[in-house]
A and B are shown apart, each in its own frame.
Chain A
Amino acid sequence: EVQLLESGGDLVQPGGSLRLSCAASGFTFNTYAMGWVRQAPGKGLEWVSTISGSGGSTFYSDPVKGRFTISRDNSENTLYLQMNSLRDEDTAVYYCAKVRSGSFRSTFDYWGQGTLLTVSS
């Protein structure tokens, strides 16, 4: 059974940093791209970032490019999102999601339950 468990969400001041983690199990982690999708309170879904199975290719949405870094540790089956220079508008539930197929650019077939980041002074 595929399981994705996010952690690391917290209350952070504007300008601060935080790292989210996502522990994966139930599939061969290093053969699938992974991504982060966020959802601001009461709002819709917003794609944040995707990383290839090897970690050699990364993709970012414009609002987070240059501030967020996605990475993975395939020996630990863990996905990360390092978030710097946080802004109020980064407040959201952050979901870790598994990409469905071998292509980086695809749908997300499994999702974690999310972790809440609140950016506020």
Chain B
Amino acid sequence: VLTQSPATLSVSPGERATLSCRASQRISTNLAWYQQKPGQAPRLLISSSSTRATGVAARFSGGGSGTEFTLTISSLQSEDFAVYYCQHYDSWPLGFGQGTKLEIK
């Protein structure tokens, strides 16, 4: 089970945002992050805890291993306000966190 915190994060443009994802058991670095905007499909941002997907801006960074993971957005742009999900792929069944909504402060 993945638990994301906070459920909602209010941040001003240009500021840094840090999102957390905690796993109920150790999953090594088998964790991904996705971004989803309203009415759109999810978009892969990060895999293997810290590897940016193709085309993802450098301001997105991921880290962590075992049970504690973070997604950091270094300087928020207007297009970054969305819902973010973590996903583990360490074992079956695959699982997603419940999401963190990143909103404009």
Is there contact, CB below 8 Å, between B96 and A105? no
Is A100 located at the chain interface by the 8 A CB criterion?
Answer: yes
Is there contact, CB below 8 Å, between B41 and A59? no
Complex: chain A residue closest to B31, CB-CB: A107
Is B32 located at the chain interface by the 8 A CB criterion?
Answer: yes
Binding site secondary structure of chain B: loop
Binding site secondary structure of chain A: strand
Complex: chain B residue closest to A47, CB-CB: B94
Q: List 17 A-B contacts (CB under 8 A).
A: A35-B94, A37-B96, A44-B85, A44-B99, A45-B34, A59-B92, A95-B41, A100-B44, A100-B47, A105-B90, A105-B91, A105-B92, A108-B32, A108-B42, A109-B47, A111-B41, A113-B40
Listed in ascending order, the chain A residues whose CB lies under 8 Å from chain B are: 35, 37, 44-47, 50, 59-62, 95, 100, 105-114
